[in-house]
Amino acid sequence: MSKTSSVNRAKVTANQAEVMRHRVDGKSFREIAELTGISRAHCHRLAQAAMEELQVRTQTDAEAVVALELGRLDVAVAAIMLKVREGHMGAIDRLIRLSERRTRLLGVEGPTKIAPTSPDGATEYTGGFGLSALLGEARRHQNQRD
């Protein structure tokens, strides 16, 4: 990499960090552009690129954790297989639980729907501070800023 491109990359990285700090502080792209002297569109592109980089790193980290957990499950299954073959019910139950864990890790089953409910789980929570109310408030606030 040439010295010029290294300097340019460092400047872009510094700009990304500054834009993201302002976004975390709740500033709109218009406000960030005014503060930094960078165009609103370029601020948006910098934030988008930073989020994409973060997503790639997060996905890579998540894949590493899944691989580690699958390896641990393999070791656990190997350790109990003799007892399973001998018909020990506790070992069979454990094998089933390990298999369920593997299935969840691999995403073989569909996602589990999680909805806010009353503490007993019987009815959907519709209180003023429910998830829908919070999301609606956040959207209204963001629309006012942008």
Average pLDDT over residues 79-85: 96
pLDDT of residue 1: 52
Q: How confident is the model at residue 67 (pLDDT cuts 50, 70, 90)?
A: very high
3-24 and 29-36 helices, crossing angle to 10°:
130
Single out the residue of 47, 18, 27 nearest to residue 142, CA to CA.
27
pLDDT of residue 113: 64
Most confident among 62-66, 118-122, 126-130 (mean pLDDT): 62-66
pLDDT of residue 98: 95
Does residue 130 surpass a pLDDT of 80?
A: no
User: 86 or 136: which carries more pLDDT confidence?
Assistant: 86
Average pLDDT over residues 15-40: 92
How many helices and strands in the chain, by DSSP H and E?
A: 5, 0
pLDDT of residue 83: 96
